[in-house]
Chains A and B, each alone.
Chain A
Amino acid sequence: MIEHAGKRLLEAHGVKVPPGILVSKPAHVQRWRGAYPVALKVQVSSGGRGKAGGVVRAADAAEAEAAAQALLGTEFGGERAATLLMEPWVDHSRELYLAVTVDGQSGGYAVLYAPAGGVDVEHQAPHKYAFGPLEGFRAHELRAMLLPVETDAALRERVVALARRLVFIAGATDALTVEINPLAVLPDGKLLALDAKVVRDESAAYRQADVAAEIDRARKREPRMVAKALAGNLMMVGLDGEVGLMSGGAGMTMAAMDMIADAGLTPACFLDCSSNPTPAGYRLAFDVLDAEPKVKAILVSIFGGGTQIDRVAKVMNEIMIKRKSRKPVVFRMNGTGRDQADVVMQQAGLRNHPTLESAVDAVVAALRAQ
């Protein structure tokens, strides 16, 4: 989620954030009804925008409009800034770092805290309180960890209370990370979230409507080849090379990509059909690879466990009969039902390579022949 969306989510759960408006045209700064000075912040997903000049202070409307003019359309971390967040410039005495995040190492959630937040927080390892499942959070355990770190008791209690709130948000919204950096300490001692980074769990889309909607929007931003594959429930990442790799299972897809790269070629994609191992899924996979002009040859590399390879072989045969594209296709299929699969392939006059090595060699030869 970009900052603005993250802040709205925090705000909806009672976390204090600055009031802000979105600006997508320089003239929109005139809509600002708050006081000056203001902060104009580019809304991009990549980090480090503060250091890259993506956050600008403006003393009045004229400065704000000029800053908006300069920032809108500029690239930050390879992403064009299409909108800005306009907020009051907040005076504060200290910046903290606070996050609740999934911690893969302990297999649960953790609170991360650093007494000096801001743009340089990466230089110091934050203090970590790992508490397992959400209901494992104990305020007193966090307090005990903070005791030697924060001597100001009132501040400590505010941090503990906010952390508890973030734990609740992580559960309610299926967030993998809820990070506030910087978390400002205001002159009266209260805390204000000056930035927000919320990472939602895509696997929770079935119970989080806004996550499902965001996955849809992200899909539409992909190149056409990838968007079409994703819409058909295939897993695809575009990689810009010449070998259309159609595979099953993430690990074998990556192993095949590595082997293609070792042979001096570049995969055109990570395309894992195991999420939709049906005739329609494989047809779609061929459709997108055949339609993409960059793809010069196709390697079908599937080692099936749950996917029964004899059924896949029948589908491949049917697809090959109807297919119009003349791009060369190399097969290497093994796994559950492989004996029957070999019979099907032989009867169809298709060669099934015994190893991935010989299949990749055949792709190299096919590309040289072109």
Chain B
Amino acid sequence: MSVLIDASSRVLIYGIAGNFGRFSARDLTAHGTKVVAGVAPGRDSPDVEGVPVFDDARAACSATGADAALVYVPAPAALDAVLEVLDAGCKVIVYPGDGLPVQDAVALRDAARRKRAVLIGPNTPGVISPGKAKLGFMPSFCYTPGPLGVISRSGSLSYEAAWRLTTARLGQTTVIGIGGDPVKGLDAAEAIELLHADAETEAVLYLGEIGGSDEYAVARYAQRADAKPTAALIVGAAAPPGKKMGHAAALVGSHADTQAAKVQALREAGVHVADNLRTVVDAALHALRVRESVTT
């Protein structure tokens, strides 16, 4: 099992005629994911990279049975494009773009909830269940199947961490990029529930940063009696206060936003927190060993 997507997922790429769309059509197919449809409004091309192209998401879904979508449009067009794929019936949607106005993110989070669908993003590379399915643009070679569920606010940090895990032969069930914005579709609290319910996920690795409240949701989860062993890495110790570090939510405004405060809260909750990138694999291994000692 995996969460959100699996080998049966049928993927639609919205904006398939653009650079990212074409690249992902090839890249997802190479990973073994079924790319069944593309949408490119106003483009008169019957197919792109061998994938049939439609003018409209509803037509694409009814013709191909697409149930997951990867949406490549610029931020000003994101609200309408994501609403379109939601209306068309897609149940898992990745919007990777950054610079989405928060007002639109709030509207999309609400719209997805009403449709009982899951929106991942904005500002995310997407989600990958190694060896099963991929809905995003992360580098596939960094991942391998295994027992660890991973959640990350940062795309680049998730590639780096996954590559270290994979190099250490520590595989992943699903790696979810929740994104670096203050309001997002799937947040850390919801993502960790998905991994909690997944039988194959034995432990969770959370990759966080300064600002926002996701890390505290992870700490609350870890305090539960039935929580799976959890490891974490929180970056941004060297970041100065009051400055936005690339991500819209990565800003130290109060003590609770700091890396030190978050590390302390997570450690108090029993999370194995890595001191830095060097020890992230060790922290994940610790969490998995706790699991083994409980189950054996």
Contact present for A251 and B138 (CB under 8 Å): no
The listed residue (B102, B110, B152, B248) touching A136 by CB distance below 8 A is: B110
Residues on B with C-beta less than 8 A from A148 are none
**Is residue B183 within 8 Å, beta carbon to beta carbon, of the partner chain?**
yes
Contact present for A261 and B245 (CB under 8 Å): no
Residues on A with C-beta less than 8 A from B207 are 251
Q: How far is the CB of A78 from chain B (nearest CB, A)?
A: 9
Of A112-120, A203-211, A320-328, the one touching chain B: A203-211
Known A274-B156, A306-B20, A335-B159: A207·B76 in contact at CB below 8 Å = yes
Within 8 A of A (CB), among B231-278: 233, 235-240, 243-250, 259, 276-278
Residues on B with C-beta less than 8 A from A259 are 276-278
**Is residue A105 within 8 Å, beta carbon to beta carbon, of the partner chain?**
yes
Contact present for B101 and A251 (CB under 8 Å): no
**Is residue A63 within 8 Å, beta carbon to beta carbon, of the partner chain?**
no
Known A206-B75, A305-B138: A253·B106 in contact at CB below 8 Å = no
Query: Once bound together, how far apart are the Cα atoms of A274 and B124, in whole Å?
Result: 13
Within 8 A of A (CB), among B136-184: 136-139, 141-142, 152-160, 163, 180, 182-184
Contact present for A102 and B106 (CB under 8 Å): yes
**Is residue A134 within 8 Å, beta carbon to beta carbon, of the partner chain?**
yes
Closest-by-CB residue of B relative to A249 is: B156
Residues on B with C-beta less than 8 A from A170 are 103
Contact present for A303 and B101 (CB under 8 Å): no
The listed residue (A107, A237, A356) touching B243 by CB distance below 8 A is: A237
Of B7-15, B34-42, B53-61, B209-217, the one touching chain A: B209-217
Contact present for A108 and B101 (CB under 8 Å): no
The listed residue (B125, B137, B210, B237) touching A261 by CB distance below 8 A is: B237
Residues on B with C-beta less than 8 A from A262 are 276
Residues on A with C-beta less than 8 A from B159 are 252, 303-305, 334-335
Contact present for B278 and A357 (CB under 8 Å): yes
Contact present for B246 and A305 (CB under 8 Å): no
Contact present for B102 and A257 (CB under 8 Å): no
Query: Once bound together, how far apart are the Cα atoms of A121 and B259, in whole Å?
Result: 26
Contact present for A254 and B235 (CB under 8 Å): yes
Contact present for B156 and A251 (CB under 8 Å): yes
Q: How far is the CB of A174 from chain B (nearest CB, A)?
A: 6
Residues on A with C-beta less than 8 A from B154 are 249-252, 254
Contact present for A251 and B153 (CB under 8 Å): yes
**Is residue B32 within 8 Å, beta carbon to beta carbon, of the partner chain?**
no
Known A249-B155, A305-B125: A255·B109 in contact at CB below 8 Å = no
Query: Once bound together, how far apart are the Cα atoms of A207 and B207, in whole Å?
Result: 33
Query: Once bound together, how far apart are the Cα atoms of A174 and B138, in whole Å?
Result: 31
Closest-by-CB residue of A relative to B212 is: A104
Closest-by-CB residue of B relative to A335 is: B139
Q: How far is the CB of B179 from chain A (nearest CB, A)?
A: 10
Query: Once bound together, how far apart are the Cα atoms of A254 and B246, in whole Å?
Result: 9
Residues on B with C-beta less than 8 A from A204 are 101-103
Within 8 A of B (CB), among A236-258: 237, 239, 247-255, 257-258
Q: How far is the CB of B143 from chain A (nearest CB, A)?
A: 11
Contact present for A305 and B155 (CB under 8 Å): yes
Contact present for B101 and A203 (CB under 8 Å): yes
**Is residue A201 within 8 Å, beta carbon to beta carbon, of the partner chain?**
yes
Q: How far is the CB of B159 from chain A (nearest CB, A)?
A: 5
Contact present for B277 and A250 (CB under 8 Å): no
**Is residue B187 within 8 Å, beta carbon to beta carbon, of the partner chain?**
yes
**Is residue B99 within 8 Å, beta carbon to beta carbon, of the partner chain?**
yes
Within 8 A of A (CB), among B1-29: 20
Q: How far is the CB of B24 from chain A (nearest CB, A)?
A: 9
Contact present for B212 and A254 (CB under 8 Å): no
Residues on B with C-beta less than 8 A from A255 are 157, 160, 233, 235, 276-277
**Is residue A260 within 8 Å, beta carbon to beta carbon, of the partner chain?**
yes
Interface centre among B180, B240, B243, B246 (most CB of A within 10 A): B246
The listed residue (A109, A254, A302, A338) touching B236 by CB distance below 8 A is: A254
**Is residue A235 within 8 Å, beta carbon to beta carbon, of the partner chain?**
yes
Q: How far is the CB of B281 from chain A (nearest CB, A)?
A: 12
Within 8 A of A (CB), among B274-290: 276-278
**Is residue B100 within 8 Å, beta carbon to beta carbon, of the partner chain?**
yes
**Is residue A189 within 8 Å, beta carbon to beta carbon, of the partner chain?**
no
**Is residue B96 within 8 Å, beta carbon to beta carbon, of the partner chain?**
yes
The listed residue (A250, A258, A261, A267) touching B250 by CB distance below 8 A is: A250
**Is residue A171 within 8 Å, beta carbon to beta carbon, of the partner chain?**
yes
A interface residues (Cβ-Cβ under 8 A, vs B): 102, 104-105, 107-109, 132-134, 136, 170-171, 174, 176, 201-204, 206-207, 235, 237, 239, 247-255, 257-262, 267, 270, 272, 274-275, 302-306, 334-336, 338, 356-357
Q: Which 7 A-B pairs have the closest CB atoms?
A: A251-B154, A249-B156, A250-B246, A251-B157, A252-B156, A261-B238, A254-B235
Besides the known contacts A203-B99, A257-B238, A304-B139, 20 further A-B residue pairs in the complex with CB atoms under 8 A apart = A104-B182, A104-B249, A108-B110, A249-B154, A249-B246, A250-B154, A250-B245, A250-B247, A251-B209, A253-B246, A254-B157, A254-B235, A254-B239, A261-B237, A261-B238, A303-B156, A303-B159, A305-B136, A306-B96, A306-B137
